[in-house]
Structure formats: structure tokens, C-alpha cells
A and B are shown apart, each in its own frame.
Chain A
Amino acid sequence: MSERRRERAVKLNVISEPKDSYTGGPSSLCPGCGHDQISNVIITAAWENGVEPHRIAKMSGIGCSSKTPAYYLGQSHGFNTVHGRMPSVTTGAYAINKDLLYLGVSGDGDSASIGIGQLIHAIRRNMNMVYVVENNGVYGLTKGQYSATADVGSKKRKGATNEIQPIDLCALAINLGCTFVARSFSGSRRQLTSILRAAMSHKGFALIDVISPCVTFNNNDESMKSYGYVKDNEVTLHMTDYIPHFDPMEEVEVPEGHFRDITLHDGSTIRLETISEEHDPSDAMAALAALHDAETNKKHVTGLLYFDSSKPSLAEDLDLVETPLLDLDDSEIRPSKESLDALNAEFLS
């Protein structure tokens, strides 16, 4: 291929960046790992949304999932923090630079066990970030122990069947008033991409719980988080399409059946096309019922479960100046000498 032909073949996004600008280093996860599929979706979603790659901050905790920021968005700064504590580091960074897109990736151990407190409080604050849980029901790096999201009756490759009630992170998030709650599957590339793109357009905490099978420890037929089981038992709430604000016509056909458009904070839209029964994502009870039904029937329900654009995000709560604090001049953050003289005088009076 000549140099010229290659150039012509490269597709550019809305800010004229090739997809290569969004890729990362080679993965060191097991071949076939669901997490690598999610990394690819992250690359695609960021590229298609036309986010400047250096304006993204990649955040993670500890675990297989938390290693993945090395494998995508090589032009973005990132922070692989400590186990379960990525939300607090992100919150501190956000207070200093609220203009970055914070993209957190975590796992089920990181989020549902050691980090559940921080996850809960980041949701409470409606911290402005995308929080992806790569959920496989087991601890990988420590060789296959059950995590707190393992389903009752599920059995991993080695060991006994899990009988302990799982923590459903989506149900938890809805109960906490999380403003964007979705579940997806690493094998559902199209659905996951549109949901992730929508989450990037959301202002507030966007939780995406992605079932992402562990091919090494938890992909046997008796496991309820194996590829085979999830494929056979996925209940899809709706077909999802993302329509970006900068290109409303982008590759989206108007569906023939019933659909519902939801406008996101940046003016983009997520379109939910009804499959059999319509799901109203503003109805928390309906979302919880869908999750409950799926659990009772040993199914996995996917789609945009809950959405609420009315709540103030942490930015509003902090009442900060418009300019990110990072960009303020030193003279703006150190009060004047006169102010200290006045204070001293006041203390003396």
C-alpha cells in the first residue's frame, strides 16, 4: 500500500483524529478476556464521541479490570490507584480540574467489596464521571475466588457452588439515586458502545455494570457469568442507539416500531427502541422490578435501567468558580497581604 493510499483510508472523527489516537498498549490479560472487548468499546466510544484524547482522565483501582487503562487511550493521563479507592482520587482530581472527562474502570471485587463504600459515596455526591464495572463474579489476579457479585447457584470452574446472596450494583445504585444506571455485556458490542457514549454525555455519576466473563476461572457452563450462559439468558430491555449532538444524522435509522428519545446534558440523544414491553428509565420502581425479575428467573437484564437528569452534580454542590481551579493564578488563591493585616488588626481589637 502506498503512503498516500493509507492516508486516504484513515477515517477521522469529528475533531479530525484517527482512531489510533485513542488506542493504548498491548493487553496482558488472558486471551479472550471480556475486559479486552470493553477496552475496545472504550476506544471506539471516545473516538466516535470526538472527545479530545488528552482531556480524558483514566481512573482505576486494583485488579484485572483496573490494569486495562494501560490498554486504551494512550494519550490520556491516568491513575491506577489503590484497591477500591479510585472514586476518592477521582473526586479530588475533579475538584481541581472539573473540565476533564473522568472515566473510571473497576471490577466486581474493587467495587462491590473493598470499594463499596467509596462507590456509594461517589454516587451520593453525583460525582461527574463514567464508572464502568467489569463484572465477572470472581477475583482473577488472586486466582479465582468468588466475588460479592457471584450469583446464587452459580459455580465457578473450581470449588463449590456459590450460595451467598450477590450484591446487585445496579439495584444498589438505583436505590442511592444514581442518575445513570445501565447493565450491559462485554459480548454486546453495539449496546455497550451506545450506552458508554451516552454515559460520556451525562453530567453526573454514570454507572455501567458490564458482565465480562473471566475465561480462566469462571467461563464454565455452570457459571452464570460465562459467555454461554449470558448469551442464552440475557433479557434486553430495549435496543439502544446514540445520536451525537454534533451529527444528529449519524448512521441512525428511524426505527419502525415504538421508541423513546432521551436528551443528554451535552445535547446528544440516547434512543431506546422497544422490543416487546416498553421500559421507562425514569421509573425507578420499574427498573428495580426488572432487576428483581431477572434475578428470580436467573436471567441478566441489560439496557439503560435508570436515568435522571434533574439532580445537581458535585460541581454545582461545590459552588466553585467557573475556571477550573487548576488554571487559577497563584495570586488568586493566596489572599492579599492587606487581608492578613486586617485580620491581625481585628484579632487585636
Chain B
Amino acid sequence: MDAIVNDFTLNIATANGTGSQSANLILLDSLFEMGVPVSGKNLFPSNISGLPTWYILRLSENGYQAPGDRTHIQILVNPATWEEDIEALETGSVVIWNSDTKNKTVEREDIVSYPVPMTKMARKINPKLAKLVTNIIYVGVVAELLGIDQKCLEDAVSKQFKGKSSAIELNIQALESGREYCKENLTKSDPFVVEKRERTEKQFFIEGNEAVALGSIYGGCQMLAWYPITPSSSIAEGIIAYIPKLRTNEDGKTNLAVIQAEDELAAAGMVIGAGWAGGRGMTATSGPGISLMQEFIGLAYFAEVPSVFWDVNRVGPSTGLPTRTQQSDIGMLYEGSHGDTQHIVLIPGTVEECFEFGWIAFDCAERFQTPIFGLSDLDLGMNKWACNGFEYPDIPMDRGKVVREKEVFEAFETFGRYLDIDGDGIPYRTLPGSGMDPILYRGTGHNPMGVYSEKPEDYHNLMARLKMKIENSRDLLPEPLTREEADSDIGVIYLGSMENSIQEIDDILLEMGHHVNQCRVRALPFHSKVEEFIRRHKTTIVLEINRDGQLYGILRRELPNDIVTNVHSVAYSDGLPPRARIYANLIDEKLKEVNG
């Protein structure tokens, strides 16, 4: 039997709230420490305790990060999903299972079965914490079967239970017990092993939400207003956690105000109030929160108030699948609120970009005096991704056209809050408390001087200027990233967390005979380079994780007529992180349909 090294998928089936997350992270971290290219995805329910949870660990020499096509090693601890988990396995798969599970066994002949009396072993170590310890026992068994380095494992345990020596001791004891049982009672009869690899660059694991939190802190965020919602809460909690270290003076006073709002409407209002007062305010939410904020978003657009909103997309509509991932808020963000609106949306696809767009968002908000959206998703936001480190902002803060000094103010021949003096659609503003050009900001129609107006020309001119202002932002926003080979005439446009599946999709397409080039859109309104990319290809596929092809819809409407028919949509979503083969197959079908 040939060994299969560093190229397989583990699926760990447990119940929510049993502490399995720490066990799984120890497994992930120890593999990462060994230099094995690995990614982990937590598929969890909307529940505090009891419902089924799966953790998928993908080891891939090619660096693929999407969940693979199939499970190679199944760890079974949860009786609730026992039968369906076993049934889903392909011939030759491995099952490591808790043989103390009542009325449950593994009877399939075509798979490798490793029964382990996990509950009894756990009780022996610590009867009170048996449930928690069970999880660490399977980590020990897996470590022994795959050949995970003991030092890497111990380092991962120390990292997980920072400084809590009793927890570290207990976990190491449980790991050893798992290893011992394996050595004495099981004979390895499967091909899966891990081997150490030299990593070329130093990396660490971090969640996208933590990266957004740090980026916001380095962006000079001064006020965070938030209302808890999965999967965005860890952005706010991340900011709160870093305030003592990064934004607090020696006397214990902070320069970053945090307000837990009564709802998302209030959170949006607070962000707009902060921007109006001249500060950098932000909120973090998910689709349902953005739905509630719509009225305020229109106010910020129309009254031109800098404001930053992060949307960590989950599955909609309505409450949807609150703990699953999707890219379905694109349209809502781009055209948020009633009336004619258009908003700038920044779309990170990596944790490094989560950090970078975290601070860029504030610069954009103040520069363009408008709401800025950051669009992440549950997959990027709540899973851990390998990170090369965060780069310090390379430019000073852009505070936009704010008139702060009397002399500057007086040098204006005519000053009007909404007067387009520079012809770029961006007017100058003064701040409350300054005494300069005191106006009553309003969501009602206004003339260039900021005075209430229902005159047709005032309304028409204002709307045209707002359109121009956002239009002008296109090429100043993060440009798309492309990977192109000269000989290909098929392009794939995609966005956000699909970055983590695109290489595998590309490789599968290559096997199918399709050479494709890639273009990742990183902001809306889309950069002129996106149009250029489309022009360079005979056929362009727009790939996204939703039902309706929302990005495709935006492109179709905004692209010149002569290339619109070259662009086609491949959109699919089932709540799970994108599995490469599903999208590759859909692209293949679409290309056959288009090109015959």
C-alpha cells in the first residue's frame, strides 16, 4: 500500500458545546507547526449546545484550502449523525470512532475501522471533565495514526491553553492516553500519513474578523457601535480585546469609544453621528443588520456623512442559515436604501486584505464623504487562515476635505456645504462646534448651500453630482488582482473568500481541458481594469457564492453593450464553503453551453 502523504481530508463529527473546537484547533495548529499545508473549516449550528458540528481539516500539498470532494478520515463522536456520516464515506476511507457510544457500531467492510473506547478512557483521566477529555483523546489517536510530531502537538496545546498549566497537563495526559491506546490495540492499515515540510515563509493562523478588527484599530477608528450578530460579533469583540493594548493611555483612558447599541438601527445612527461630528466611526454586522440599517444608509449617502459598515455575510434571506457562508449581500450593499443610491464596497479575499481594507475603509469614507462597506463572509471571517503578517499603512490618513482653520475657511470665495468647488463631486465640509458654515444637515432635498430645497434643478444636480462622485472613485479603490496566461481566451471573475478555492477550481478546469485566467474584483464600483480583463477574453465567467449572480448583474448593467454578451454567470450556494469541484463542473457546463 502506497502511503498518501499530506493530501487528504479529515472530518470530525462532534456535538456543539462539548469543547471539540479546542481539540480541533490543536490538531490544526500542530499540523501547521509541522509545515503541513492545512486548512480548517468549522461547520457549526446556530445553537449553544447539543446540535451537530463538523470540523473539516484539509491537508493539501498543492495548498488547496477549500473543503475537498470527499472525506478520507472520519472521526465519529456524535451519535446524532452517526449513520449519515458513515454512509457518506467512500470505499477505502477510515473511521476512528468512540466505541463507548450506546447502540452504535461501524459495520461497513469496505472501510478501515479503528474503534476507541474514548468515554471510558476519558473518565479514567477525569470523570468530571470526561466530555471535554474525549475530544483530546481522538486527537491523540489521530496523532499516533498519522505520525504527528509530539513537540508540535504539545506546542499547540500550550498555545491553546495559554498559561493554564492544569489544563495543559490534563490535555497532554489525554493525548498520551490516546497515543498509548493506539500503539497497544490498533494496527495501522490505512495509507494516510503526515510528513514535516519546510515552510518557505513564516506564517501564522488568524481569522478574518480579527484581522478586520486590527485593521480598523490601525485605521484610527474612534467609535465602534455594534449589535451582536453571528458571524460578525468577533470583529467588535476583537476591537474591544485590543483596545487596552493599542488604544489606551497609561492612565487607563481610551481614545476609542465602544457602544453596544440597542439594535442595528441605532448602531448605524451612532456611526453617522460620529462621522458628522468629524470622527471615524464604524459598525460590524451581517445581512439582517444591514437590512435594518437601510434608512440610515440613505441618509449618510444623501447628506454625505463618512461612515464605515462591515458586513460579514451569512446565508439569507431572513434569518436564513445564520452560521453558514454566502456572498449574497453584494446587491444590497451596492445599492443600499431607497431611492437612487450607489455605494463603495471593499471586498477582501484574504486575511491580509481584511487588515488592509480595515484601515483603507476610513480613508475612503472621509475622502468620498459617503458610507463605505466592507464585505467579508462567514468563511473568511470566522475560520482561521494562514497569514504572512500585516503590513503597516504605507500612507498617512486621508481625512478628506475638512476645513478646520478659520483662515482656510475665509479664503473660500463662496462656501457651500454641497458646492462642488473642485469639480470632482466632493464638496468641502466644516464640523459641528467649529462655528464655520453652520448648517442643518438633513435627509431632505437641499441646494449647494445646504439649505432645504425642492427645486427641480437643485435635486437633479445634486443626484448627478453624487453619481459622479462615486463614479470617480472606481480607479482609486483597490484594483482587481489578475492571474493571466497569454494563450487563454476564457476569463473567470470572482470575489472575496472564493480566493481560497480558485486555485483548485483552476486545476480541475485544466484537467478538463480549460485554460482559464482569473480576475478577483476587490471593490465596487468595479475598476476599469475589470472591463479591460473582460475585453481581453472571448468568454468571461462571473463566479460567485449565491443563487442569482449578483456581481454578474452589476457587471451586466454597467459594462458597455459590445461586451455584455461575452459575460456569463456561474452562481451556486448551498451554505457550505465552496467546494472546488462543484464550481468547476458548473463552469465546464456553462462553457459548453456558451461555446458549444
A interface residue numbers (CB < 8 A to B): 52-55, 57-58, 69-70, 74-82, 85, 87-97, 99-100, 117-118, 120-121, 125, 318-322, 325-326, 328, 330, 332-335, 337, 339-341, 343-344, 347-348
Interchain residue pairs A-B with the least CB separation, the first 7: A92-B273, A88-B269, A96-B279, A54-B435, A92-B270, A77-B432, A333-B220
Q: A88-B265, A348-B389 are in contact. Are A95 and B249 (CB under 8 A)?
A: no
Known: A90-B273, A92-B273. A81 touches B278 (CB 8 A): no
A322-B253 in contact (CB<8A): yes
The 21 listed contacts between A and B (C-beta, < 8 Å) are A75-B438, A77-B431, A77-B441, A78-B441, A79-B276, A88-B261, A88-B266, A88-B268, A89-B269, A92-B276, A93-B276, A95-B257, A95-B274, A96-B223, A100-B433, A121-B262, A332-B255, A339-B246, A343-B390, A344-B389, A348-B204
Q: Would you list which residues of chain B between 162 and 208 have a CB under 8 Å from chain A?
A: 202-204, 206
Q: Are A325 and B387 in touch, CB under 8 angstroms?
A: no
Q: Is B281 part of the binding interface, using a Cβ–Cβ cutoff of 8 Å?
A: yes
- The answer to the question of B123 belonging to the interface, with a C-beta cut-off of 8 Å to chain A, is no
Q: Select the residue from B202, B214, B222, B273 with max chain A CB neighbours within 10 A.
A: B273
Name the distance in Å between B372's Cβ and chain A's nearest Cβ.
16
Known: A325-B223, A333-B222, A340-B218. A80 touches B443 (CB 8 A): yes
**CB under 8 Å from chain A, chain B span 213-250:** 214, 217-223, 225, 245-247, 249
Q: Which residues of A contact B249 (CB under 8 A)?
A: 321
Cα-based distance from A95 to B387 in the complex (angstroms): 34
In this complex, what residue of A is CB-closest to B214?
A: A343
**B96 CB to closest chain A CB, in angstroms?**
31
B261 pairs with A347, CB closer than 8 A:
no
Given contacts A343-B214, A344-B390, contact A91 B440 (CB under 8 A): no
Whether the pair B278, A326 counts as a contact (CB closer than 8 A) is yes
Residues of B within 8 A of A (CB): 202-204, 206, 214, 217-223, 225, 245-247, 249, 252-259, 261-263, 265-281, 295-296, 299, 303, 359, 387, 389-390, 392-393, 396-397, 399, 430-435, 438-444, 452
Q: How far is the CA of A285 from the CA of B115 in the complex (A)?
A: 69
The answer to whether B225 touches A92 (Cβ under 8 A) is yes
CB neighbours of B303 from chain A (8 A) = 79
Report whether B431 and A334 are in contact in the complex, using a CB–CB cutoff of 8 Å: no
Given contacts A57-B433, A81-B443, A100-B432, contact A95 B223 (CB under 8 A): yes
> Helix, strand, loop or mixed for chain A's interface?
helix
- Contact status of A81 and B255, CB under 8 A, knowing A92-B225, A96-B222, A337-B392: no
Task: Assess whether A334 is in contact with B443, with CB atoms less than 8 Å apart.
Answer: no
Q: How far is the CA of A347 from the CA of B390 in the complex (A)?
A: 10
Given contacts A79-B441, A99-B433, 10 further A-B pairs with CB under 8 A are A80-B442, A85-B269, A88-B268, A90-B273, A92-B275, A318-B257, A320-B254, A321-B254, A322-B253, A326-B279
Number of A-B contacts (CB under 8 A): 210
Q: Chain B residues near A69: list those with CB within 8 A.
A: 440
CB A328 to nearest CB in B, in angstroms, measures: 6
Task: Tell me the bound Cα distance from A123 to B434 in angstroms.
Answer: 28
> B272 — which chain A residues lie within 8 A by C-beta?
81, 89, 92
Whether B247 and A335, one on each chain, are in contact in the complex, defined by CB atoms closer than 8 angstroms, is: yes
Is A74 within 8 A of B279, CB to CB?
no
A347–B32 Cα distance when bound, in Å, is 13
**In contact, A91 and B273 (Cβ under 8 angstroms):** yes
Chain B nearest CB, measured from A154 CB (Å)? 31
Closest CB of chain B to A73's CB: distance in Å? 8
Query: Could you say which residues of chain B place their CB within 8 Å of the CB of A343?
Result: 214, 390
Residues from chain A with a CB closer than 8 A to the CB of B432 are 57, 76-77, 93, 97, 100
**Distance of A89 Cα from B270 Cα, bound (Å):** 5
When distances are taken between beta carbons in the complex, the residues of chain B under 8 Å from A328 are 222, 255
Nearest residue (CB) in A for B389 is A344
When distances are taken between beta carbons in the complex, the residues of chain A under 8 Å from B265 are 85, 88, 118
Q: Is the CB of B257 within 8 A of A320?
A: yes
Contacts of B390 in A (CB 8 A): 340, 343-344
B447 to chain A, nearest CB (A): 14
Complex interface: chain B residues within 8 A of A54 (CB): 433-435, 438
Contact A89 B254 (CB under 8 A): no
Q: Residues of A contacting B203 with CB < 8 Å?
A: 348
Q: Is the CB of A77 within 8 A of B296?
A: no
Residues of the B chain whose Cβ atoms lie less than 8 Å from the Cβ of A85: 265-266, 269, 295-296
Smallest CB separation, B159 vs chain A (Å): 9
Question: Bound state CA distance, A337 and B278, in angstroms?
Answer: 25
Report whether A95 and B246 are in contact in the complex, using a CB–CB cutoff of 8 Å: no
Instruction: Give which listed residue, A76, A117, A326, A347, contacts B438 with CB less than 8 A.
Output: A76
Given A117-B262, A334-B220, check contact A78 B204 (CB 8 Å): no
Taking a contact as CB atoms under 8 Å apart, the answer to whether A58 and B218 are in contact is no
- Considering the complex, give the chain B residue whose CB is closest to the CB of A70: B440
Please give me the residue from chain A that is nearest to B391 by CB atom. Answer: A340
Which among B202, B218, B270 is the interface contact of A95 at CB below 8 angstroms?
B270
Closest Cβ of chain A to B160, distance in Å, is: 14
Chain A's closest residue to B272 (CB) is A89
Q: How far is the CB of B118 from chain A (nearest CB, A)?
A: 32
Residue in B247, B274, B399 with the greatest tally of chain A CB atoms within 10 Å: B274
The answer to whether B433 and A347 have CB atoms under 8 Å apart is no
Out of A52, A77, A325, A341, name the residue touching B257 (CB < 8 Å): A325
Query: With A82-B296, A91-B259, A325-B257 given, is the CB distance from A334 to B397 under 8 Å?
Result: yes
CB <8 Å contact, B274 and A92? yes
B460 to chain A, nearest CB (A): 22
Chain B: which residue is nearest A58 at the CB level? B440
Smallest CB separation, A222 vs chain B (Å):
34
Query: B276 and A325: CB pair below 8 A?
Result: no
Hey, which chain A residues are within 8 Å of B246, CB to CB? 335, 339
Is there contact, CB below 8 Å, between A96 and B452?
no
Q: For A79, list chain B residues within 8 Å (CB).
A: 273, 276, 303, 440-442
Shortest CB distance A198–B (Å): 23
Pairwise interchain contact A81-B299, C-beta atoms closer than 8 A: yes
Q: In the complex, what residues of B have CB within 8 A of residue A322's CB?
A: 253
Q: Which residues of B contact A121 (CB under 8 A)?
A: 261-262, 266
- Determine the distance from Cα of A88 to Cα of B226 in the docked complex, in whole angstroms: 12
